Amino acid sequence: MMLFLPSLLTGLTTGTLSYWLVILILIVNFIFIMALIFMERADPRSTISWILVLILIPILGFIVYLFIGQTVYRSHQFKLKKKDDDKLLATQNEVIRLLKAKEKEGKSDEEIEIYQMSEAFMKAGGSFYTEDNDVELFTEGEKKFSRMFEDLRNAKKFIHIEYYIIRNDKLSNEFMDILIEKVKEGVEVRLMIDAIGNNKGPKKRLAEFEKAGGEFTTFHKIITVFLSPKKNNRNHRKIAVIDGTIGYVGGFNIGDEYLGKGPLGFWRDSAVRVEGIGVYTMNLRFMMDWEYASHKELPLDTKYYPLIAPKTGRNKKMQLISGGPDTIRNPIQTEYLKLINTAKKTIYLHTPYLIPDPTIRDALILAGYSGVDVRIIMPNKPDHPFVYWAGLAFAGQLIKDGSVRVYNYNRGFVHSKTMVVDGKYCSVGSANFDERSLKLNFETNAVVYSEEIGKEMVDAFMDDLKYCTEYTEEMYDNRNLWLRFKMGISRLAAGLL
């Protein structure tokens, strides 16, 4: 009897401890669920998804939530960035006043519509309206990088570069050669890459660049990123400014794959080159991000904002629109909604990732109901499988009643993030039509008000359709069980963002 007593007591103790441990876990889990509901200011849909995760897998779910889901830390962290940005954005009130004056003096309904749209974007925050610009559109990497590298080689005063990814390959090494040479010539060169985007970057060349006197920083530090929720807040912007007179913005990163030399084959992307006052807004965007990432201030003087005299032919109106987790309502979401709701005839858009939030999804469907020709081109192959499957699921929602048409691009990979409305309102930039771009990432688009650029974008879109297969309701309904499962899991995962 005495021999069995220790094991009996051990069993009772173990059982009691297990019981109280389970109770403790359930109480703590309940507290976290309540905190998620009442403290977090997240989208209700993602809140519900996270509550399900916490209920179904209490311990692991909470660890995952702390790692990628919570937003309290994120909102506190970016309050500081927003405060600094707001100081520089204060001048937008004067621009809004001028836009109101122009609206009253508008000579046509189209002019008035442009001014009203621009004012709406500026009130949403993170945007600047300018006139007297020359804008050049690129839809392939070879032409874009050839022109940009030529501009970099001709730089005389400074170069400011902000990219999500710079690879370690032939194109990126040519890029680094140029930057190092310009530093040696006495040109100020500042280079900023996202911490995660720099994971496979040209480390040795970057060290060589800094040794030559170039300034380099990552947007967030890699150690901080892995230990905090900021890993979800990536700087996805692609901006280059040369001497304050030439600027680039778009979807291309820097690497051989963006020339079509990667595993996905031909690379369809978009970017614009700007000369004129619009370059000021690109440089200001860079400087705000640079100060946040590097903790180094740059003066707002004519060294970085040289006087640009008006020139004949520079007649394009444009607006740089930036969004991110440092904004209360994402200006890029406002941009997309306003463009869609303005459409009277056509909406043509490219996106590699089609995971729209309900407001954008419903706006696209409503535009289709109203007789607008709404067409979307997306890839027919994944670079990120879960995102691709989720995209197919959302495409199915859009095409169900025939109001929106979706096409799969077969020529290679479509990475372009563009929308052209009625052949005259054009958006080109880094922001995808997915919730990551609209909620988590730092993004920048250029909106160009131009029938000339609009025609180029429409023509390019129509040419792309030659390499597409329409994704029909019949194809969506005939999915096999395995594809349905993958799409369902991917949609659930998308809801956790």
Mean pLDDT of 262-273: 96
Instruction: Judge whether 182 counts as a catalytic residue.
Output: no
**What's the pTM?**
0.83
Residue with tokens 């400087």: 287
More confident residue, 67 or 210: 210
Tell me the pLDDT tens digit for each residue of 241-260. 999 999 999 999 999 999 99
Instruction: Judge whether 422 counts as a catalytic residue.
Output: yes
Query: Given this model, what pLDDT does residue 311 score?
Result: 76
Instruction: Judge whether 236 counts as a catalytic residue.
Output: yes
Query: Given this model, what pLDDT does residue 440 score?
Result: 84
Of 43, 47, 22, 19, nearest to 33 (Cα)? 47
Cα of first residue to Cα of last residue in the chain, in angstroms, is 59
Question: Which three-class secondary structure state does DSSP give residue 334?
Answer: helix
Structure tokens at 225: 């990123």
Tell me the pLDDT tens digit for each residue of 301-311. 788 888 877 77
Instruction: Judge whether 477 counts as a catalytic residue.
Output: no
Residue with tokens 């069980």: 481
Instruction: Judge whether 417 counts as a catalytic residue.
Output: yes
Type of residue found at 292: Y
Distance CA 450, CA 448 (A): 6
Active-site choice (144, 182, 350, 415) = 415
Specify which residues 470 forms β-bridges with.
407
Type of residue found at 269: D
Of 120, 128, 113, nearest to 422 (Cα)? 113
Instruction: Judge whether 350 counts as a catalytic residue.
Output: no
3 pLDDT exceeds 50?
no
Tally of CB atoms within 10 A around 393: 22
**What average pLDDT does the chain have?**
84
In a 10 Å sphere around its CB, with 0-12 CB exposed, 13-18 middle and 19+ buried, how is residue 396 labelled? Answer: middle
Residues sharing a CB contact under 8 Å with residue 69, sequence separation 6 or more, in sequence order: 46, 50, 229, 496
Active-site choice (422, 434, 439, 486) = 422
